[in-house]
């Protein structure tokens, strides 16, 4: 009997379940992050380098004055989400956020594709999440999604 592989089918199944549970946990935590608003702006804390990763900056900036019709505003919103994740979700690295406006949903919705690397020491696993913001309530729902390439 060859014991060189060290892991049997049951171990692989447990590892897959654990990885899926970790992705679900990250999705819940990213959802909480996106549904929170920063207490202070980055500019207000510019003299305090370490404060940007503190609870004072947890959440998104207020971008209610921005419009989805503007390419610059959409880029700003994506950068704000990327910043929040980079500063407060340490399990994700190299995060990229893309926006897709979907006017076909009732009440309007904005979909964000969040891609990055889930850090699993000593390796990392590519992951993808869908974040849908209901435009009426500004509430985000985040779910893991199949990994896909951007358009």
> Distances from the Cα of 78 to the Cαs of 5, 47, 51, in angstroms?
43, 24, 21
Residue 45 is assigned to a structural domain of this protein: yes
Residue 149 is assigned to a structural domain of this protein: no
Share the mean pLDDT of the chain.
84
Please say whether the beta carbons of 108 and 136 come within 8 A.
Answer: yes
Q: Residue 64 sits in a domain of what CATH number?
A: 3.10.450
Q: What percent of the chain has pLDDT over 90?
A: 46
Hey, what are 127's tokens? Answer: 């992951």
Can you tell me the mean pLDDT for 36-52? 84
* β-bridge pairing 92-102 and 139-144: unpaired
Residue 6, pLDDT > 70, answer no
Residue 150 is assigned to a structural domain of this protein: no
Residue 104, pLDDT > 70, answer no
Residue 64 is assigned to a structural domain of this protein: yes
Residue 4 is assigned to a structural domain of this protein: no
- Domain interval for residue 87: 9-144
Query: Which H or E element spans position 77?
Result: helix 71-88
Residue 33 is assigned to a structural domain of this protein: yes
| The pLDDT value given to residue 126 | 95
Residue 1 is assigned to a structural domain of this protein: no
Please say whether the beta carbons of 30 and 114 come within 8 A.
Answer: yes
> Distances from the Cα of 25 to the Cαs of 21, 22, 89, 115, 130, in angstroms?
6, 5, 11, 15, 14
Q: Which residues of 108-135 are buried (b: 16+ CB within 10 A; e: fewer)?
A: ebbebbbbbebeeeeeeeebbbbbbbee
Q: How many domains does the chain have?
A: 1
Residue 107 is assigned to a structural domain of this protein: yes
């Amino acid at each position: 009997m060859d014991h060189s592989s060290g892991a049997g089918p049951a171990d692989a199944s447990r590892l897959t379940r654990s990885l899926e549970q970790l992705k679900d946990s990250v999705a819940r935590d990213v959802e909480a992050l996106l549904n929170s608003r920063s207490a202070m702006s980055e500019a207000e804390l510019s003299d305090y380098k370490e404060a940007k990763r503190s609870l004072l900056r947890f959440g998104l900036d207020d971008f209610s004055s921005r419009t989805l019709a503007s390419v610059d505003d959409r880029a700003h919103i994506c950068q704000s989400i990327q910043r929040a994740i980079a500063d407060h979700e340490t399990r994700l690295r190299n995060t990229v956020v893309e926006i897709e406006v979907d006017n076909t949903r009732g009440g309007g919705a904005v979909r964000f594709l969040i891609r990055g690397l889930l850090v699993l020491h000593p390796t990392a696993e590519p992951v993808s999440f869908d974040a849908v913001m209901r435009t009426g309530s500004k509430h985000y729902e985040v779910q893991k999604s199949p990994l896909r390439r951007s358009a």
